[in-house]
């Protein structure tokens, strides 16, 4: 059997596809798996790291600006889209997949459209509470729309084949506990650990906050801190810390990283997680039952991250702050307050676990296999 996955742009779109691909390979060891991503994007790094082959097509995102520059960009995108559908059809004909699965990112549109035109079964997964532009455009094209939130089906046109599956997570998130993770990472058992992570690309705003927050954590030593600055923001944050004369932060329990490749272990070891509220991140939090302080990205369509975060807040699984509601000092105080109330933190973690769908990867895999032959 041959399976083709398409995804891209951010780890939140890529990791669910990797999780399902791994599950399929466990069930069908001789399955052939291929990925298609966008040229030059993050998937071209993350997918091969997991042992899968990836091909690329040339595709750009749409600009929502009504300026002349935005219109020019969209004209170029439209021309590139036609070409990317042709490129995708060529890859599909050569590989001959039995089914094509998309898990988010604008590259999904040309690949799933090409697969549909060639008569290949197609499924797309939308992990957010409200559908993104790509999923909206594909809703009447694909054979099935899989959704991460139980009530998300009401956001689609009548007649759309919507199936609630939950959001899949990568291997490793469901098998580690705190003690085992700390042993792997050589971290002390008795000291609180706060993980600060802001998407695979990082956040300029949160890196600016962390430029003040991290030295405060190193000075006061109320907890250990691991912060992921992202590839784009890491040099800038390191420069800002250097200008402050922050010194050797790691020796004082503060670890600033460009990217966290061992995320399952680091997340499992943490007592509190400061993060965005993309659906894949929420799925990982739920898989490990981790309490979180969620700060939704304001730079996403239809404020879908805030809608995701408010769902978790209603479940009692997280606290929510919006950018602009805090500075480094007030954020530090809120973190300390949460860590000081162990029963409340444990209750939040339990609620987070109950908010998830532990068998999401299994559900999606079974659904994908049902479309083969």
pLDDT in tens, 177-210: 899 999 999 999 999 999 999 977 789 999 999 9
Question: According to DSSP H, which parts of the chain are helical?
Answer: 11-27, 43-49, 68-95, 108-117, 133-138, 178-185, 204-220, 234-243, 263-269, 279-288, 304-314, 328-340, 342-355, 360-370
Dump pLDDT digits (tens) for 237-252.
999 998 887 778 888 9
Model confidence band, residue 222 (pLDDT cutoffs 50, 70, 90):
very high
Lowest mean pLDDT among 4-8, 10-14, 121-125: 10-14
Rounded Cα–Cα distance for residues 180 and 265 (Å): 8
**What confidence score (pLDDT) does residue 68 get?**
58
Strand partners, 319: 293
Dump pLDDT digits (tens) for 45-98.
999 999 999 999 988 665 455 465 655 555 666 677 888 999 999 999 999 999
**What confidence score (pLDDT) does residue 44 get?**
93
Instruction: Report the side by side order of strands in the sheet with 272-275.
Output: 254-257, 224-228, 193-197, 272-275, 292-294, 318-320
**What confidence score (pLDDT) does residue 21 get?**
96
- Residue 203, both tokens: 């956040």
Please state, rounded to an integer, the average pLDDT across all residues of the chain: 90
Model confidence band, residue 299 (pLDDT cutoffs 50, 70, 90):
confident
**What confidence score (pLDDT) does residue 64 get?**
55
Dump pLDDT digits (tens) for 98-141.
999 999 998 999 999 999 999 999 999 998 888 888 898 899 99
Positive or negative, the Cα torsion across 341, 343, 348, 353?
Answer: positive
The domains of the chain, with CATH numbers, are 2-167+358-370 (3.40.50.2000), 178-355 (3.40.50.2000)
DSSP 199: -
**What confidence score (pLDDT) does residue 304 get?**
80
Lowest mean pLDDT among 137-146, 180-189, 301-310, 360-369: 301-310
**What confidence score (pLDDT) does residue 204 get?**
92
């Amino acid at each position: 059997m041959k399976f083709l996955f398409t995804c891209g742009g951010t780890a939140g779109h890529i990791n669910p596809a990797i999780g399902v691909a791994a599950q399929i390979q466990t069930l069908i060891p001789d399955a052939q798996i291929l990925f298609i991503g966008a040229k030059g994007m993050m998937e071209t790094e993350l997918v091969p790291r997991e042992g899968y082959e990836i091909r690329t097509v040339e595709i750009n995102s749409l600009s929502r600006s009504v300026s002349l520059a935005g219109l020019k960009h969209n004209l170029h995108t439209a021309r590139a889209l036609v070409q990317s559908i042709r490129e995708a059809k060529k890859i599909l004909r050569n590989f001959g997949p039995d089914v094509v699965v998309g898990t988010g990112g604008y590259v999904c549109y040309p690949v799933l459209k090409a697969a549909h035109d060639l008569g290949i079964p197609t499924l797309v997964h939308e992990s957010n509470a409200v559908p993104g532009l790509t999923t909206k455009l594909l809703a009447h094209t694909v054979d099935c729309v899989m959704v991460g939130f139980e009530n998300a089906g009401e956001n689609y046109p009548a007649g759309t084949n919507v199936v609630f599956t939950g959001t899949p997570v990568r291997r490793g998130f469901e098998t580690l506990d705190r003690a085992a993770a700390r042993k792997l990472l050589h971290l002390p058992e008795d000291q609180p650990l706060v993980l600060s992570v802001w998407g695979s690309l990082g956040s300029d705003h949160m890196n600016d906050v962390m430029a003040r927050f991290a030295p405060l954590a190193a000075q006061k030593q109320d907890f250990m801190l691991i912060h992921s600055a992202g590839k784009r923001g890491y040099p800038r944050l390191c420069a800002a810390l250097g200008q402050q004369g922050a010194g050797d932060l790691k020796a004082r329990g503060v670890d600033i990283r460009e990217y966290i490749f061992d995320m399952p272990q680091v997340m499992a070891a943490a007592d509190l997680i400061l993060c965005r509220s993309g659906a894949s991140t929420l799925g990982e939090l739920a898989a490990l039952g981790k309490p979180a302080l969620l700060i939704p990205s304001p730079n996403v369509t239809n404020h879908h991250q805030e809608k995701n975060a408010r769902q978790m807040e209603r479940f009692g699984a997280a606290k929510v702050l919006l950018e602009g509601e805090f500075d480094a000092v007030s954020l530090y105080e809120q973190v300390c307050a949460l860590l000081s109330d162990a029963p409340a933190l444990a209750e939040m973690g339990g609620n987070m676990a109950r908010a998830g769908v532990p068998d999401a990867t299994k559900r999606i895999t079974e659904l994908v296999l049902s479309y083969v032959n």
